[in-house]
Structure 1
Amino acid sequence: FGSRLKTFVHGSDPVILEVRFLFTSFNFSRTMSFEVGGDDAREIESFSTMVKDATVEVRKGFIRKVYSILTVQLLLTVIVAAPLTSMVSQSWLVANSWIMYLSLGMTMVTMCAMVCCQNLTRSFPTNYILLFVFTAFEGVCVGFVSAQYTWQSVVLALGMTVLIFLCMTIFAWKSKTDFTGFGPYLFAALMVLMVFGFVVSLLAMSGVQVYWAFMAYNLIGVIIFTFYIVYDTQLIIGEWGGHKHQFGIDDYVFAALNLYLDIINLFLFLLRLFGNRR
Protein backbone atom coordinates (compact mmCIF):
# COMPACT_ATOMS: atom_id res chain seq x y z
CA PHE A 1 0.00 0.00 0.00
CA GLY A 2 2.85 2.39 0.83
CA SER A 3 4.46 2.03 -2.60
CA ARG A 4 1.12 2.45 -4.35
CA LEU A 5 0.47 5.58 -2.29
CA LYS A 6 3.85 7.04 -3.27
CA THR A 7 3.19 6.28 -6.92
CA PHE A 8 -0.23 7.87 -6.69
CA VAL A 9 1.06 11.01 -4.99
CA HIS A 10 3.83 11.59 -7.52
CA GLY A 11 1.98 10.26 -10.55
CA SER A 12 -1.35 12.01 -10.14
CA ASP A 13 -2.30 15.60 -10.65
CA PRO A 14 -3.06 17.86 -7.69
CA VAL A 15 -6.67 18.86 -8.22
CA ILE A 16 -6.90 22.33 -6.74
CA LEU A 17 -10.64 22.17 -6.17
CA GLU A 18 -10.34 22.91 -2.46
CA VAL A 19 -9.35 26.49 -3.34
CA ARG A 20 -12.25 26.80 -5.72
CA PHE A 21 -14.57 25.29 -3.10
CA LEU A 22 -13.62 27.90 -0.51
CA PHE A 23 -14.01 30.79 -2.90
CA THR A 24 -17.26 29.47 -4.37
CA SER A 25 -18.86 29.15 -0.95
CA PHE A 26 -17.86 32.74 -0.18
CA ASN A 27 -19.07 33.94 -3.55
CA PHE A 28 -22.36 32.10 -3.11
CA SER A 29 -23.08 33.81 0.21
CA ARG A 30 -22.06 37.22 -1.10
CA THR A 31 -24.05 37.28 -4.34
CA MET A 32 -27.44 36.20 -3.03
CA SER A 33 -30.26 38.64 -3.70
CA PHE A 34 -31.57 40.78 -0.85
CA GLU A 35 -35.31 41.32 -1.13
CA VAL A 36 -35.88 42.78 2.35
CA GLY A 37 -36.99 45.94 4.07
CA GLY A 38 -36.79 47.76 7.40
CA ASP A 39 -33.62 47.34 9.44
CA ASP A 40 -32.29 44.70 7.07
CA ALA A 41 -32.57 47.11 4.17
CA ARG A 42 -30.70 49.81 6.07
CA GLU A 43 -27.98 47.31 6.94
CA ILE A 44 -27.60 46.34 3.30
CA GLU A 45 -26.90 49.97 2.42
CA SER A 46 -23.49 49.53 4.06
CA PHE A 47 -22.49 47.05 1.36
CA SER A 48 -20.23 48.22 -1.44
CA THR A 49 -21.86 49.89 -4.44
CA MET A 50 -23.19 47.30 -6.86
CA VAL A 51 -22.58 47.32 -10.58
CA LYS A 52 -26.27 47.92 -11.24
CA ASP A 53 -26.18 51.15 -9.21
CA ALA A 54 -23.23 52.59 -11.13
CA THR A 55 -23.17 54.82 -14.17
CA VAL A 56 -22.43 53.32 -17.56
CA GLU A 57 -18.86 54.65 -17.49
CA VAL A 58 -18.22 53.18 -14.05
CA ARG A 59 -19.59 49.84 -15.23
CA LYS A 60 -17.31 49.90 -18.26
CA GLY A 61 -14.35 50.81 -16.08
CA PHE A 62 -15.13 47.94 -13.69
CA ILE A 63 -15.27 45.42 -16.53
CA ARG A 64 -12.06 46.75 -18.11
CA LYS A 65 -10.28 46.51 -14.78
CA VAL A 66 -11.44 42.93 -14.18
CA TYR A 67 -10.29 41.68 -17.57
CA SER A 68 -7.02 43.62 -17.35
CA ILE A 69 -6.24 41.97 -14.02
CA LEU A 70 -7.24 38.59 -15.44
CA THR A 71 -4.89 39.07 -18.39
CA VAL A 72 -1.96 39.86 -16.09
CA GLN A 73 -2.79 36.83 -13.94
CA LEU A 74 -2.77 34.51 -16.92
CA LEU A 75 0.50 35.96 -18.24
CA LEU A 76 2.11 35.54 -14.82
CA THR A 77 0.89 31.95 -14.65
CA VAL A 78 2.43 31.18 -18.04
CA ILE A 79 5.73 32.84 -17.07
CA VAL A 80 5.95 30.78 -13.87
CA ALA A 81 4.63 27.49 -15.27
CA ALA A 82 6.45 27.41 -18.63
CA PRO A 83 9.97 26.71 -17.27
CA LEU A 84 8.65 23.89 -15.08
CA THR A 85 6.73 22.43 -18.01
CA SER A 86 9.51 22.45 -20.60
CA MET A 87 12.88 22.63 -18.87
CA VAL A 88 12.86 20.16 -15.98
CA SER A 89 12.99 16.37 -15.96
CA GLN A 90 10.51 13.98 -14.38
CA SER A 91 13.12 12.89 -11.84
CA TRP A 92 13.61 16.52 -10.79
CA LEU A 93 9.86 16.92 -10.34
CA VAL A 94 9.66 13.87 -8.09
CA ALA A 95 12.72 14.88 -6.07
CA ASN A 96 11.41 18.41 -5.58
CA SER A 97 7.71 17.68 -5.16
CA TRP A 98 7.85 19.59 -1.87
CA ILE A 99 7.87 22.78 -3.94
CA MET A 100 4.47 21.88 -5.36
CA TYR A 101 3.01 21.05 -1.95
CA LEU A 102 4.43 24.25 -0.48
CA SER A 103 2.90 26.23 -3.33
CA LEU A 104 -0.43 24.48 -2.90
CA GLY A 105 -0.37 25.34 0.79
CA MET A 106 0.45 28.97 0.06
CA THR A 107 -2.46 29.24 -2.37
CA MET A 108 -4.72 28.09 0.46
CA VAL A 109 -3.20 30.58 2.90
CA THR A 110 -3.52 33.55 0.56
CA MET A 111 -7.05 32.51 -0.44
CA CYS A 112 -8.11 32.30 3.21
CA ALA A 113 -6.61 35.74 3.81
CA MET A 114 -8.63 37.21 0.95
CA VAL A 115 -11.86 35.51 2.01
CA CYS A 116 -11.60 36.08 5.76
CA CYS A 117 -10.27 39.66 5.56
CA GLN A 118 -12.36 41.10 2.77
CA ASN A 119 -11.34 44.65 3.61
CA LEU A 120 -7.79 43.78 2.53
CA THR A 121 -8.97 42.81 -0.93
CA ARG A 122 -10.70 46.16 -1.36
CA SER A 123 -7.72 48.30 -0.41
CA PHE A 124 -4.87 49.16 -2.77
CA PRO A 125 -2.14 47.85 -2.97
CA THR A 126 -2.83 45.00 -0.53
CA ASN A 127 -5.43 43.48 -2.82
CA TYR A 128 -3.01 43.31 -5.74
CA ILE A 129 -0.21 41.91 -3.58
CA LEU A 130 -2.41 39.08 -2.26
CA LEU A 131 -3.82 38.35 -5.70
CA PHE A 132 -0.49 38.11 -7.50
CA VAL A 133 1.18 36.14 -4.69
CA PHE A 134 -1.67 33.66 -5.03
CA THR A 135 -1.29 33.66 -8.82
CA ALA A 136 2.47 33.03 -8.66
CA PHE A 137 2.08 30.00 -6.40
CA GLU A 138 -0.82 28.78 -8.52
CA GLY A 139 1.50 29.01 -11.52
CA VAL A 140 3.94 26.66 -9.79
CA CYS A 141 1.15 24.12 -9.23
CA VAL A 142 0.05 24.39 -12.86
CA GLY A 143 3.66 23.96 -13.99
CA PHE A 144 4.12 20.77 -11.97
CA VAL A 145 0.91 19.29 -13.36
CA SER A 146 1.66 20.28 -16.96
CA ALA A 147 5.19 18.87 -16.75
CA GLN A 148 3.72 15.37 -16.45
CA TYR A 149 2.26 15.64 -19.96
CA THR A 150 3.70 16.00 -23.46
CA TRP A 151 4.01 19.50 -24.83
CA GLN A 152 1.50 18.63 -27.55
CA SER A 153 -1.04 17.75 -24.85
CA VAL A 154 -0.41 21.01 -23.02
CA VAL A 155 -0.83 23.05 -26.21
CA LEU A 156 -4.02 21.15 -27.09
CA ALA A 157 -5.53 21.71 -23.64
CA LEU A 158 -4.49 25.36 -23.73
CA GLY A 159 -6.06 25.89 -27.15
CA MET A 160 -9.29 24.20 -26.10
CA THR A 161 -9.41 26.30 -22.93
CA VAL A 162 -9.00 29.54 -24.89
CA LEU A 163 -11.67 28.50 -27.39
CA ILE A 164 -14.17 27.48 -24.69
CA PHE A 165 -13.51 30.64 -22.69
CA LEU A 166 -14.06 32.91 -25.70
CA CYS A 167 -17.22 31.08 -26.77
CA MET A 168 -18.71 31.06 -23.27
CA THR A 169 -17.82 34.73 -22.74
CA ILE A 170 -19.60 35.71 -25.96
CA PHE A 171 -22.54 33.52 -25.01
CA ALA A 172 -22.75 35.08 -21.53
CA TRP A 173 -22.75 38.59 -23.00
CA LYS A 174 -25.28 37.85 -25.75
CA SER A 175 -27.61 35.43 -23.98
CA LYS A 176 -30.99 36.72 -22.80
CA THR A 177 -31.07 34.03 -20.12
CA ASP A 178 -29.98 35.09 -16.64
CA PHE A 179 -27.61 32.45 -15.26
CA THR A 180 -26.65 34.40 -12.12
CA GLY A 181 -29.35 32.59 -10.15
CA PHE A 182 -27.69 29.23 -10.85
CA GLY A 183 -25.07 29.73 -8.13
CA PRO A 184 -26.58 27.26 -5.61
CA TYR A 185 -26.86 24.56 -8.28
CA LEU A 186 -23.28 25.02 -9.45
CA PHE A 187 -22.16 25.02 -5.83
CA ALA A 188 -23.96 21.71 -5.21
CA ALA A 189 -22.53 20.22 -8.40
CA LEU A 190 -19.02 21.23 -7.34
CA MET A 191 -19.47 19.60 -3.93
CA VAL A 192 -20.64 16.36 -5.58
CA LEU A 193 -17.64 16.50 -7.91
CA MET A 194 -15.27 16.89 -4.97
CA VAL A 195 -16.77 13.90 -3.17
CA PHE A 196 -16.61 11.86 -6.38
CA GLY A 197 -12.97 12.84 -6.87
CA PHE A 198 -12.14 11.89 -3.29
CA VAL A 199 -13.70 8.45 -3.74
CA VAL A 200 -11.85 7.91 -7.02
CA SER A 201 -8.59 8.91 -5.31
CA LEU A 202 -9.13 6.41 -2.49
CA LEU A 203 -9.89 3.65 -4.99
CA ALA A 204 -6.74 4.47 -6.96
CA MET A 205 -4.60 4.37 -3.81
CA SER A 206 -6.11 0.97 -2.99
CA GLY A 207 -5.00 -0.41 -6.33
CA VAL A 208 -8.47 -0.51 -7.90
CA GLN A 209 -8.60 0.23 -11.63
CA VAL A 210 -10.67 3.43 -11.94
CA TYR A 211 -9.74 4.67 -15.42
CA TRP A 212 -13.28 5.26 -16.64
CA ALA A 213 -14.32 6.81 -13.33
CA PHE A 214 -11.33 9.13 -13.59
CA MET A 215 -12.30 10.11 -17.14
CA ALA A 216 -15.90 10.72 -16.06
CA TYR A 217 -14.63 12.86 -13.19
CA ASN A 218 -12.61 15.01 -15.58
CA LEU A 219 -15.46 15.30 -18.09
CA ILE A 220 -17.88 16.45 -15.39
CA GLY A 221 -15.25 18.93 -14.20
CA VAL A 222 -14.98 20.39 -17.70
CA ILE A 223 -18.75 20.82 -17.88
CA ILE A 224 -19.03 22.44 -14.45
CA PHE A 225 -16.27 24.98 -15.00
CA THR A 226 -17.57 25.77 -18.48
CA PHE A 227 -20.84 26.78 -16.85
CA TYR A 228 -18.92 28.68 -14.17
CA ILE A 229 -17.39 30.88 -16.88
CA VAL A 230 -20.88 31.87 -18.02
CA TYR A 231 -22.05 32.37 -14.45
CA ASP A 232 -19.10 34.52 -13.35
CA THR A 233 -19.11 36.54 -16.57
CA GLN A 234 -22.74 37.50 -16.04
CA LEU A 235 -21.97 38.42 -12.42
CA ILE A 236 -19.35 40.82 -13.76
CA ILE A 237 -21.76 42.33 -16.28
CA GLY A 238 -24.47 42.67 -13.63
CA GLU A 239 -27.76 44.40 -14.26
CA TRP A 240 -26.18 46.16 -17.23
CA GLY A 241 -26.90 42.93 -19.07
CA GLY A 242 -30.25 42.41 -17.37
CA HIS A 243 -28.93 40.09 -14.64
CA LYS A 244 -30.28 39.96 -11.11
CA HIS A 245 -27.02 39.27 -9.25
CA GLN A 246 -23.69 41.03 -9.67
CA PHE A 247 -20.29 41.76 -8.15
CA GLY A 248 -19.74 44.94 -6.16
CA ILE A 249 -17.74 47.73 -7.77
CA ASP A 250 -15.01 47.29 -5.14
CA ASP A 251 -14.83 43.54 -5.76
CA TYR A 252 -12.84 43.67 -8.99
CA VAL A 253 -10.13 41.47 -7.45
CA PHE A 254 -12.66 38.80 -6.49
CA ALA A 255 -14.29 39.01 -9.92
CA ALA A 256 -10.96 38.52 -11.69
CA LEU A 257 -10.01 35.72 -9.31
CA ASN A 258 -13.30 33.94 -10.02
CA LEU A 259 -12.71 33.90 -13.76
CA TYR A 260 -9.04 33.01 -13.29
CA LEU A 261 -9.93 29.94 -11.23
CA ASP A 262 -12.55 28.95 -13.79
CA ILE A 263 -9.94 29.05 -16.55
CA ILE A 264 -7.21 27.26 -14.58
CA ASN A 265 -9.49 24.46 -13.43
CA LEU A 266 -10.94 24.08 -16.92
CA PHE A 267 -7.42 23.80 -18.35
CA LEU A 268 -6.38 21.18 -15.79
CA PHE A 269 -9.48 19.06 -16.36
CA LEU A 270 -9.02 19.23 -20.14
CA LEU A 271 -5.35 18.31 -19.77
CA ARG A 272 -6.19 15.25 -17.69
CA LEU A 273 -9.05 14.30 -20.01
CA PHE A 274 -7.21 14.51 -23.35
CA GLY A 275 -3.52 14.65 -22.41
CA ASN A 276 -0.85 12.00 -22.89
CA ARG A 277 1.67 11.55 -20.13
CA ARG A 278 5.37 11.64 -20.81
Structure 2
Amino acid sequence: MDLEVSEPVDFSTGDHQHLVRKAGDDSAQPESKETKATPPSPGPKQTHGKPKPKTDQRADFYVVEISDETTPEESNAEASPFSEASIRRGFIVKVFLLLSAQLVLTGAIIAVFIFWPGLKNWVHRSPWFTYSIFPAFFGVLIVLACCEDLRRQVPANYILLGLFTFLQGLMLGAVSVFYEVDEVLWAIGATALVTLSLTLFALQTKLDFTLLNGVLFVALVVLLIYGIILIFIRSYWLHLLYAALGTVLFSLYLVMDVQLLVGGSHHVKLDPEEYVFAALNIYLDIINLFIFILQLIGRMGR
Protein backbone atom coordinates (compact mmCIF):
# COMPACT_ATOMS: atom_id res chain seq x y z
CA MET A 1 0.00 0.00 0.00
CA ASP A 2 1.48 3.31 -1.09
CA LEU A 3 0.24 6.55 0.34
CA GLU A 4 2.01 9.71 -0.53
CA VAL A 5 0.87 13.22 0.21
CA SER A 6 2.79 15.81 -1.74
CA GLU A 7 0.63 18.77 -0.77
CA PRO A 8 0.00 20.18 2.70
CA VAL A 9 -2.92 18.59 4.48
CA ASP A 10 -5.11 20.43 7.00
CA PHE A 11 -6.15 17.80 9.55
CA SER A 12 -8.61 20.19 11.24
CA THR A 13 -10.87 20.38 8.12
CA GLY A 14 -11.04 16.66 7.44
CA ASP A 15 -8.95 16.68 4.25
CA HIS A 16 -7.09 13.61 5.45
CA GLN A 17 -10.19 11.40 5.50
CA HIS A 18 -10.13 10.73 1.75
CA LEU A 19 -6.55 9.46 2.14
CA VAL A 20 -7.67 7.01 4.81
CA ARG A 21 -10.56 5.76 2.62
CA LYS A 22 -8.23 5.38 -0.33
CA ALA A 23 -5.79 3.35 1.72
CA GLY A 24 -8.63 1.11 2.95
CA ASP A 25 -9.96 0.53 -0.59
CA ASP A 26 -6.52 -0.38 -1.89
CA SER A 27 -5.99 -2.92 0.87
CA ALA A 28 -9.47 -4.44 0.41
CA GLN A 29 -9.03 -5.23 -3.28
CA PRO A 30 -8.31 -8.99 -3.81
CA GLU A 31 -5.11 -9.92 -5.33
CA SER A 32 -5.20 -10.88 -8.96
CA LYS A 33 -5.74 -14.51 -9.94
CA GLU A 34 -2.92 -16.73 -10.78
CA THR A 35 -1.50 -16.03 -14.13
CA LYS A 36 -2.12 -18.50 -16.90
CA ALA A 37 0.43 -21.26 -16.91
CA THR A 38 2.67 -21.23 -19.92
CA PRO A 39 4.83 -24.08 -21.02
CA PRO A 40 8.40 -23.79 -20.10
CA SER A 41 10.40 -22.35 -22.86
CA PRO A 42 13.20 -24.45 -24.09
CA GLY A 43 16.50 -23.33 -23.10
CA PRO A 44 19.27 -24.02 -20.77
CA LYS A 45 18.21 -25.24 -17.37
CA GLN A 46 18.40 -22.84 -14.53
CA THR A 47 21.01 -23.52 -12.00
CA HIS A 48 19.83 -24.73 -8.62
CA GLY A 49 20.44 -22.59 -5.61
CA LYS A 50 18.77 -20.13 -3.26
CA PRO A 51 16.25 -17.88 -4.93
CA LYS A 52 17.22 -14.24 -5.07
CA PRO A 53 15.04 -11.86 -3.07
CA LYS A 54 12.85 -9.48 -4.96
CA THR A 55 14.60 -6.23 -4.54
CA ASP A 56 12.23 -4.30 -6.80
CA GLN A 57 9.22 -4.76 -4.52
CA ARG A 58 8.34 -1.40 -3.00
CA ALA A 59 7.68 -1.17 0.69
CA ASP A 60 4.64 0.64 1.94
CA PHE A 61 5.45 4.18 2.96
CA TYR A 62 3.58 7.29 4.03
CA VAL A 63 4.66 10.83 3.39
CA VAL A 64 2.69 13.51 5.18
CA GLU A 65 3.70 17.14 4.92
CA ILE A 66 2.16 19.61 7.36
CA SER A 67 2.64 23.28 6.63
CA ASP A 68 1.95 26.49 8.55
CA GLU A 69 3.41 25.17 11.77
CA THR A 70 2.96 27.41 14.81
CA THR A 71 6.01 28.02 16.91
CA PRO A 72 5.76 28.24 20.72
CA GLU A 73 6.60 31.94 20.57
CA GLU A 74 3.71 32.58 18.20
CA SER A 75 1.37 30.57 20.41
CA ASN A 76 2.34 32.61 23.47
CA ALA A 77 1.87 35.83 21.52
CA GLU A 78 -1.60 34.77 20.40
CA ALA A 79 -2.53 33.73 23.96
CA SER A 80 -1.29 36.99 25.50
CA PRO A 81 -4.13 39.44 26.23
CA PHE A 82 -1.85 42.34 25.22
CA SER A 83 -0.71 40.80 21.90
CA GLU A 84 -1.67 44.02 20.10
CA ALA A 85 -0.05 47.32 21.01
CA SER A 86 -3.37 49.15 20.64
CA ILE A 87 -4.91 47.05 23.44
CA ARG A 88 -2.07 47.90 25.82
CA ARG A 89 -2.19 51.58 24.81
CA GLY A 90 -5.93 51.79 25.39
CA PHE A 91 -5.53 50.04 28.75
CA ILE A 92 -2.88 52.52 29.93
CA VAL A 93 -4.89 55.53 28.75
CA LYS A 94 -8.01 54.28 30.54
CA VAL A 95 -6.11 53.70 33.79
CA PHE A 96 -4.50 57.15 33.75
CA LEU A 97 -7.83 58.84 33.00
CA LEU A 98 -9.43 57.09 35.96
CA LEU A 99 -6.45 57.90 38.16
CA SER A 100 -6.50 61.57 37.15
CA ALA A 101 -10.22 61.82 37.95
CA GLN A 102 -9.62 60.20 41.35
CA LEU A 103 -6.79 62.58 42.25
CA VAL A 104 -8.73 65.66 41.13
CA LEU A 105 -11.76 64.64 43.21
CA THR A 106 -9.58 63.87 46.24
CA GLY A 107 -7.71 67.16 45.96
CA ALA A 108 -10.96 69.10 45.69
CA ILE A 109 -12.35 67.47 48.85
CA ILE A 110 -9.13 68.15 50.79
CA ALA A 111 -9.20 71.78 49.67
CA VAL A 112 -12.76 72.17 50.99
CA PHE A 113 -11.73 70.83 54.38
CA ILE A 114 -8.59 72.93 54.83
CA PHE A 115 -9.91 76.22 53.37
CA TRP A 116 -13.38 76.20 54.95
CA PRO A 117 -12.91 77.36 58.56
CA GLY A 118 -16.41 76.33 59.65
CA LEU A 119 -15.98 72.77 58.42
CA LYS A 120 -12.50 72.61 59.88
CA ASN A 121 -13.74 73.62 63.31
CA TRP A 122 -16.66 71.19 63.09
CA VAL A 123 -14.32 68.26 62.36
CA HIS A 124 -12.19 69.26 65.38
CA ARG A 125 -15.30 69.14 67.57
CA SER A 126 -16.69 65.92 66.03
CA PRO A 127 -14.13 63.12 66.16
CA TRP A 128 -16.87 60.59 65.46
CA PHE A 129 -16.95 61.81 61.84
CA THR A 130 -13.48 60.44 61.10
CA TYR A 131 -14.13 57.12 62.82
CA SER A 132 -17.45 56.63 61.03
CA ILE A 133 -15.79 56.80 57.62
CA PHE A 134 -13.47 53.85 58.30
CA PRO A 135 -16.06 50.99 58.14
CA ALA A 136 -17.58 52.24 54.88
CA PHE A 137 -14.14 52.90 53.40
CA PHE A 138 -12.78 49.44 54.16
CA GLY A 139 -16.04 47.78 53.11
CA VAL A 140 -15.88 49.25 49.60
CA LEU A 141 -12.15 48.49 49.43
CA ILE A 142 -12.73 44.81 50.27
CA VAL A 143 -15.45 44.56 47.62
CA LEU A 144 -13.18 46.07 44.96
CA ALA A 145 -10.22 43.90 45.94
CA CYS A 146 -12.02 40.56 46.32
CA CYS A 147 -15.01 40.60 43.93
CA GLU A 148 -13.31 40.16 40.57
CA ASP A 149 -16.52 39.80 38.53
CA LEU A 150 -18.04 42.91 40.05
CA ARG A 151 -14.80 44.79 39.51
CA ARG A 152 -15.03 44.10 35.77
CA GLN A 153 -18.74 44.80 35.39
CA VAL A 154 -19.73 48.16 33.95
CA PRO A 155 -21.08 50.47 35.41
CA ALA A 156 -20.85 48.83 38.85
CA ASN A 157 -17.03 49.07 38.81
CA TYR A 158 -17.12 52.81 38.08
CA ILE A 159 -19.73 53.42 40.78
CA LEU A 160 -17.72 51.52 43.39
CA LEU A 161 -14.50 53.25 42.39
CA GLY A 162 -16.17 56.66 42.58
CA LEU A 163 -17.67 55.86 45.99
CA PHE A 164 -14.32 54.64 47.25
CA THR A 165 -12.58 57.80 46.02
CA PHE A 166 -15.20 60.01 47.68
CA LEU A 167 -14.83 58.21 51.03
CA GLN A 168 -11.04 58.36 50.75
CA GLY A 169 -11.25 62.10 50.08
CA LEU A 170 -13.46 62.61 53.15
CA MET A 171 -11.02 60.67 55.31
CA LEU A 172 -8.00 62.61 54.01
CA GLY A 173 -9.86 65.88 54.48
CA ALA A 174 -10.66 64.96 58.08
CA VAL A 175 -6.99 64.11 58.68
CA SER A 176 -5.69 67.26 56.97
CA VAL A 177 -7.55 69.62 59.31
CA PHE A 178 -5.18 68.62 62.10
CA TYR A 179 -2.24 70.09 60.13
CA GLU A 180 -1.44 73.60 59.02
CA VAL A 181 -2.47 74.64 55.52
CA ASP A 182 1.12 75.17 54.37
CA GLU A 183 2.09 71.71 55.65
CA VAL A 184 -0.70 70.12 53.61
CA LEU A 185 0.29 72.08 50.51
CA TRP A 186 3.94 71.14 50.94
CA ALA A 187 2.93 67.48 51.30
CA ILE A 188 0.82 67.66 48.13
CA GLY A 189 3.72 69.20 46.17
CA ALA A 190 6.25 66.68 47.51
CA THR A 191 3.90 63.78 46.73
CA ALA A 192 3.42 65.01 43.16
CA LEU A 193 7.19 65.35 42.67
CA VAL A 194 7.95 61.92 44.13
CA THR A 195 5.16 60.30 42.10
CA LEU A 196 6.40 61.80 38.84
CA SER A 197 10.02 60.83 39.54
CA LEU A 198 9.17 57.26 40.50
CA THR A 199 6.89 56.84 37.48
CA LEU A 200 9.67 57.90 35.12
CA PHE A 201 12.08 55.60 36.95
CA ALA A 202 9.68 52.65 36.64
CA LEU A 203 9.33 53.26 32.90
CA GLN A 204 13.10 53.48 32.29
CA THR A 205 14.66 50.93 34.64
CA LYS A 206 15.44 47.36 33.60
CA LEU A 207 14.98 46.09 37.16
CA ASP A 208 11.85 44.02 37.64
CA PHE A 209 10.19 45.26 40.84
CA THR A 210 7.22 42.92 40.33
CA LEU A 211 9.40 40.13 41.74
CA LEU A 212 9.28 41.96 45.10
CA ASN A 213 5.53 41.52 45.50
CA GLY A 214 5.80 39.00 48.35
CA VAL A 215 8.60 40.86 50.11
CA LEU A 216 6.69 44.14 50.01
CA PHE A 217 3.57 42.49 51.39
CA VAL A 218 5.53 41.12 54.37
CA ALA A 219 7.04 44.58 54.93
CA LEU A 220 3.53 46.08 54.82
CA VAL A 221 2.32 43.69 57.52
CA VAL A 222 5.34 44.54 59.69
CA LEU A 223 4.71 48.26 59.19
CA LEU A 224 1.06 47.81 60.14
CA ILE A 225 2.01 46.06 63.39
CA TYR A 226 4.58 48.79 64.06
CA GLY A 227 1.88 51.45 63.62
CA ILE A 228 -0.46 49.67 66.04
CA ILE A 229 2.30 49.59 68.67
CA LEU A 230 2.93 53.33 68.21
CA ILE A 231 -0.65 54.04 69.28
CA PHE A 232 0.41 53.25 72.84
CA ILE A 233 3.93 54.74 72.62
CA ARG A 234 4.47 58.50 72.50
CA SER A 235 7.94 58.83 71.01
CA TYR A 236 8.94 61.53 68.52
CA TRP A 237 11.74 59.53 66.92
CA LEU A 238 9.72 56.30 66.64
CA HIS A 239 6.89 58.16 64.90
CA LEU A 240 9.37 59.89 62.61
CA LEU A 241 10.94 56.53 61.75
CA TYR A 242 7.49 55.09 61.08
CA ALA A 243 6.69 57.90 58.63
CA ALA A 244 10.04 57.46 56.85
CA LEU A 245 9.62 53.68 56.52
CA GLY A 246 6.09 54.12 55.19
CA THR A 247 7.31 56.61 52.58
CA VAL A 248 10.00 54.19 51.35
CA LEU A 249 7.64 51.19 51.31
CA PHE A 250 4.92 52.86 49.27
CA SER A 251 7.50 54.35 46.93
CA LEU A 252 8.51 50.79 46.08
CA TYR A 253 4.86 49.81 45.76
CA LEU A 254 4.31 52.67 43.32
CA VAL A 255 7.21 51.53 41.11
CA MET A 256 5.91 47.96 41.14
CA ASP A 257 2.33 48.94 40.27
CA VAL A 258 3.49 51.18 37.41
CA GLN A 259 5.46 48.25 35.99
CA LEU A 260 2.36 46.09 36.32
CA LEU A 261 0.50 48.72 34.34
CA VAL A 262 2.94 49.07 31.46
CA GLY A 263 3.61 45.30 31.23
CA GLY A 264 6.45 44.25 28.92
CA SER A 265 8.95 41.61 30.07
CA HIS A 266 8.03 41.82 33.75
CA HIS A 267 7.30 38.73 35.82
CA VAL A 268 3.72 39.67 36.74
CA LYS A 269 1.21 41.27 34.40
CA LEU A 270 -2.38 42.49 34.56
CA ASP A 271 -5.39 41.50 32.49
CA PRO A 272 -6.82 44.11 30.07
CA GLU A 273 -10.12 44.04 31.97
CA GLU A 274 -8.43 45.00 35.25
CA TYR A 275 -8.21 48.73 34.54
CA VAL A 276 -10.18 49.57 37.70
CA PHE A 277 -7.90 47.37 39.79
CA ALA A 278 -4.78 48.97 38.27
CA ALA A 279 -6.09 52.50 38.89
CA LEU A 280 -7.03 51.56 42.45
CA ASN A 281 -3.55 50.20 43.21
CA ILE A 282 -1.70 53.29 41.95
CA TYR A 283 -4.21 55.61 43.63
CA LEU A 284 -3.69 53.91 47.00
CA ASP A 285 0.08 54.12 46.57
CA ILE A 286 -0.09 57.87 45.95
CA ILE A 287 -2.52 58.46 48.82
CA ASN A 288 -0.38 56.52 51.29
CA LEU A 289 2.68 58.42 50.07
CA PHE A 290 0.82 61.66 50.78
CA ILE A 291 -0.16 60.53 54.29
CA PHE A 292 3.38 59.49 55.27
CA ILE A 293 4.99 62.58 53.71
CA LEU A 294 2.45 64.75 55.56
CA GLN A 295 3.42 63.02 58.80
CA LEU A 296 7.12 63.62 58.05
CA ILE A 297 6.57 67.30 57.35
CA GLY A 298 4.32 67.69 60.38
CA ARG A 299 6.80 65.95 62.72
CA MET A 300 9.82 67.84 61.41
CA GLY A 301 8.02 71.18 61.65
CA ARG A 302 7.20 70.80 65.33
Q: Helix, strand or coil for the counterpart of 1:119?
A: helix
| Structure 2 partner of 1:250 | 273
Task: Render the CA deviation track for 1:120-140: whole Å, top value 9, x for unaligned.
Answer: 110110000000100001000
Q: Which one of the candidate residues 124, 127, 130 is aligned to 2:160?
A: 130
In 1, are the aligned partners of 2:82 and 2:88 still within 8 Å (CA)? Answer: no
TM-score w.r.t. length of structure 1: 0.76
Q: Aligned partners of 2:197, 2:134: CA distance in 1, in Å?
A: 30
Counterpart of 1:165 in structure 2 is 195
Counterpart for residue 29 of structure 1: none
2:260 corresponds, among 223, 231, 235, to 235
- Superposition map of 1:205-220 within 5 A: 209-220=234-245
Q: CA deviation at 1:142?
A: 0.5
Question: Is the CA contact 2:91–2:272 (under 8 Å) kept in the aligned structure 1?
Answer: yes
Does residue 1:70 correspond to 2:104, yes or no? no
Query: In the alignment, residue 132 of structure 2 is paired with which amino acid?
Result: L
Equivalent residue, structure 2, for 1:178: 208
Structure with the higher helix share, 1 or 2: 1
The one-letter code matched in structure 1 to 2:247 is V
| 1:165 Cα deviation from its structure 2 partner | 0.4
SS of alignment partner, residue 54 of structure 1:
coil
Deviations 1:43-89 (A, max 9, x none): xxxxxx99764310000000011011000000111122211122135
* Contact 1:52–1:246, Cα closer than 8 Å, also in 2: no
How many residues are aligned here? 223
Identify unmatched segments of 5+ residues in structure 1: 1-48, 204-208
What is the one-letter code of the residue matched to 1:143? Answer: G
Structure-2 residue corresponding to 1:265: 288
The one-letter code sitting in structure 1 at the alignment partner of 2:115 is S
Matched, 1:200 2:239: no
Stretch moving more, 66-75 or 148-157: 148-157
Runs of 4+ in 1 over 6 A off after TM superposition: none
Instruction: Work out whether residues 85 and 147 of structure 1, in 8 Å CA contact, stay in contact via their aligned partners in 2.
Output: yes
In the other structure, the counterpart of 1:85 is 114
Deviation at 1:102, TM superposition (A): 2.0
Structure 2: runs of 5 or more not aligned: 1-77
> Structure 1 pair 80/179, CA: closer, same or farther in 2 (3 Å)?
same
Distance 2:289 2:80 in 1: 27
For normalisation by structure 2, the TM-score amounts to 0.70
Q: Could you give the per-residue CA deviations for residues 130-165 of structure 1, whole angstroms, max 9, x where no partner exists? A: 001000010001001111111111111111100100
- SS for the counterpart of 2:206 is coil
Q: Which has the higher contact order (CA 8 A, sep 6+)?
A: 1
C-alpha distance in structure 2 between counterparts of 1:125 and 1:259, whole Å: 21
Residue in structure 1 matched with residue 69 of structure 2 by the alignment: none
Contact 1:186 1:224 in 2 (8 A): yes
Residues 51/178 of structure 1: CA separation in 2 closer, same or farther (3 Å cut):
farther
Contact in 1 for aligned 2:95/2:276 (Cα 8 Å)? yes
Deviation at 1:111?
A: 1.0
Distance in 2 (alpha carbons) for counterparts of 1:222 and 1:160 = 11
- Counterpart contact for 2:81–2:272, Cα < 8 Å: no
CA contact (8 A) 1:235 1:243 kept: yes
CA contact (8 A) 1:51 1:249 kept: no
Query: Partner letter of residue 85 of structure 2?
Result: V
The aligned counterpart of 1:28 is: none
The share of aligned pairs that are identical, in percent, is: 38
Could you tell me how far apart the structure 1 residues matched to 2:164 and 2:87 are? Answer: 27
Bigger Cα displacement from structure 2, 94-103 vs 136-145: 94-103
